[in-house]
Structure 1
Amino acid sequence: MHIDRYLVSVLLVGAAPVLLLLLGLFGFVTLAEELEDVGTGRFEDADAVRVALLSLPRIAIDLLPVATLLGGVMALGGLAAEQELTAMRAAGMSVWRLAAPMVMGAGLLASAVLLAQQFAVPVLEDDASELRARKLSETVQGGGAAEFWTRDGNHFIRVGEVRFHSVPADIEIYDLGAGGTIASVLRAESADVLGPGRWLLHEVTESRIDGTEVSQRAESERSWQSFLSPDQMASLVSPIETLTLAELYHYVNYLEATALSSHQYRFRLWQVLSMPIGLAAMCLLGLPFVMGSVRAQSAGARILFGAAVGIGFYLVEQTASQFTLLYELPAVPMALLPDSVLLGASLVMLSRVDSA
């Protein structure tokens, strides 16, 4: 219906300027943080600006629920001030009927978010992470597109590829002896990064060179004490934000198949998948703000109230995420809980407005 398209457009047009305003503010904060590293290694002002710009799409997605609520409150408040919502109610449209276009708008936003999380944001985050790590550290990219070389004294390591942005593969570790000759070569098919300085190598072959004699030993697994610095590790292993939804899903299965902890990645996957619930809740919350008892308040008061709810939800969600990762709480329920509670609260508020 025309009324549905009209209300959806009002919601989206109202959210756009709020999102741009918040994005400018948080983008400036991100740039300020990046500028603190200028002068370290080869990291320059232009690099800081580029990293901040590449981070904007991820920041926009994080801010979208809050922007949707504030934009919806302002846009619907404008309709209420012009008596358009009153006319719709007088024409027989219930609160739930008015809520339908809000859900449609949330669906459009959620579709855009999921597409961006699959195809755009991980690529940009990977570029930002690679640029930052390369400029700050002394690692060398050479040979293939993903080939990685670095050294520590008489120890060299080459990583041919990185699977899922997190699993080093095609690994060669060289130890030099007296006179700079190669004393041993350790080759591994892949490795799991268990923690700072701890790698678990898989399908290992060690070759020891003593003059003209070469001895070899094969192992299915071997623990290796890594000499890579945090900056070098950042250049090799990308942040979790660089994984697409498909890569997250397959990496979770890989970790579980190898009996490693998948908690952090499973939680991230369900956080992204639960975003449509949060967007629907934020879109629906705009209606009670302009149709319930709050409608008697000024536009400024409604916006302030909406901002308090939106920012409060954002802080609660971030705090819940930290607690979930710190104490390893159940990943799926904790990822769904904040959005589900907010959606339930919005439905209760709509029900009260409808019965008033």
Structure 2
Amino acid sequence: MKCLDRYIAYQVLGAVFVILLVVVGLDLVFEFVEQTGEINDRYRFVDVLSYLMLRIPSRLYEFLPLASLVGCLVGLGMLASNSELTVMRAAGISIQRIVLAVMKPAMLLAVCALILGEYVVPVTEQKAQSSRALAQSAGQALRSKHGVWHRENNQFIHINAVEPGGKIHGVTRYSFNDQRQMVASSFAKSGVYSTDGWLLEDVVSTLFLGDRTQTEQADQESWKSGLTPTLLSVIVVDPMDLSISGLWSYSSYLGEQGLDSNQYLLAFWSKVLQPAGIFALVLVAISFIFGPLRSVTVGQRIIAGVIVGLVFKFSQDLLGPASTVIGFTPLLATAIPIVICLIAGLFLLRKAA
């Protein structure tokens, strides 16, 4: 039985790898075309290539569930086309035993997804976004469209780029009073974090004093803020590119500031439940092979897998905003498509048995 498990795992993992290579490769080509339109004297061709290379882990993580579904359909489909599954059944191997053999490589894929999402993607994505923002901003206030905005009490903050290790570039701050009138604005070229807070450098401040303004300059200025390098590394990238621990800590921080944290909670539960989503999609793929897609061509299986995978992803993407509007929890929005896939897979397998 160990030889059979290894053979099935080899077929499934090989197909998943090929599908993942094709999908990620196409996605990088499309993003390369998009990024070349932003090339200028600061953001050069080599910067584009560096940015794309750093984004590979996040693309692998995003497309792993779809690749698991389509790869399982292709791998098991090849076994079915060569009558190898028929031989296994004739030898007395049950469908449940074959399902167990396929779930072992699926478990490996789920573990790889967790490692990528927790330890690799947050680091590489922050480096990618920071390097691009630094190249495009050239140290000027609000120059980079890829910087981040944040609100803290009555202060609105824009940061052009955040480097790993606690260094920030292009810090613009707007301060308002309780009547929502701007009382001050400032721009700092850079800043470093210490135990006492942020130490900003090359600061230019403007005070709004009724009918006149006053400009001040300082080589250094201390800035007390609840934003730490850890929290900044969270807000500089998209929620789905953050670690599970980072999402939870930043959601708690937003709650303390009285801000909406549903977007980050949705990403948190999506990442926590992604292994379950991979298992559910693989189960659907297995049920298709023993059911409606048993005798169709490889191309038809790929099309069916892509359709199911896209429906799964779109349903999660639609239920996320709907959870905010209707009022149910992000956990439920993430879990509903997974539960539906599990029920559908078990139902089809039961019919095929």
TM-score (norm 2): 0.75
Any stretches of 5+ residues in structure 1 without a counterpart? Answer: 164-168, 194-232
Pairs aligned (count): 308
Distance 1:23 1:336 in 2: 26
Which stretch has the larger CA shift, 263-272 or 46-55?
46-55
Aligned to 1:33: 34
**Cα shift readout 1:224-255 (whole Å, capped 9, x = no counterpart):** xxxxxxxxx99984443553222222222333
Contact 2:76 2:286 in 1 (8 A): yes
Distance 2:86 2:285 in 1: 15
Distance 1:278 1:16 in 2: 18
DSSP-derived class of the 1:175 partner:
strand
TM-fit CA distance, 1:188:
4.2
DSSP-derived class of the 2:224 partner:
strand
Distance 1:127 1:142 in 2: 9
Aligned to 1:345: 344
- Residues 101 and 187 of structure 1, relative CA distance in 2, 3 Å threshold: same
Read off the aligned partner of 1:24 and give its amino acid letter.
Answer: G
- Residues 186 and 287 of structure 1, relative CA distance in 2, 3 Å threshold: same
Distance 1:308 1:328 in 2: 29
Q: Please give the residue correspondences for 1:1-356 in structure 2 after superposition, counting only pairs within 5 Å.
A: 1-39=2-40, 42-139=42-139, 146-150=167-171, 155-157=186-188, 159-161=191-193, 170=198, 175=205, 181-182=216-217, 187-191=222-226, 237-324=236-323, 329-354=328-353
Distance 1:273 1:89 in 2: 36
Aligned to 1:166: none
Contact 2:167 2:192 in 1 (8 A): yes
- Residues 142 and 269 of structure 1, relative CA distance in 2, 3 Å threshold: closer
Read off the aligned partner of 2:30 and give its amino acid letter.
Answer: V
- Residues 316 and 36 of structure 1, relative CA distance in 2, 3 Å threshold: farther
Which stretch has the larger CA shift, 259-268 or 298-307?
298-307
TM-fit CA distance, 1:53:
1.9
Any stretches of 5+ residues in structure 2 without a counterpart? Answer: 141-160, 174-183, 208-212
Contact 1:171 1:188 in 2 (8 A): yes
**Cα shift readout 1:127-175 (whole Å, capped 9, x = no counterpart):** 1100111111133789985143456998333643499xxxxx5265752
- Residues 339 and 312 of structure 1, relative CA distance in 2, 3 Å threshold: same
DSSP-derived class of the 2:350 partner:
helix
Contact 1:162 1:237 in 2 (8 A): no
- Residues 62 and 2 of structure 1, relative CA distance in 2, 3 Å threshold: same
Which stretch has the larger CA shift, 140-149 or 260-269?
140-149
TM-fit CA distance, 1:99:
0.9
Contact 2:126 2:233 in 1 (8 A): no
Contact 1:252 1:262 in 2 (8 A): yes
**Cα shift readout 1:279-321 (whole Å, capped 9, x = no counterpart):** 1122222222222243133333333222322233233333334
Distance 1:276 1:29 in 2: 27
Contact 2:43 2:132 in 1 (8 A): yes
TM-score (norm 1): 0.74
Contact 1:65 1:278 in 2 (8 A): yes
DSSP-derived class of the 1:148 partner:
strand
DSSP-derived class of the 2:55 partner:
helix
- Residues 175 and 2 of structure 1, relative CA distance in 2, 3 Å threshold: same
Contact 2:254 2:261 in 1 (8 A): yes
Instruction: Please give the root-mean-square deviation of Cα atoms over the aligned residues, in Å.
Output: 3.5
- Residues 176 and 303 of structure 1, relative CA distance in 2, 3 Å threshold: closer
Distance 1:121 1:235 in 2: 12
Which stretch has the larger CA shift, 48-57 or 248-257?
248-257
Read off the aligned partner of 2:314 and give its amino acid letter.
Answer: L
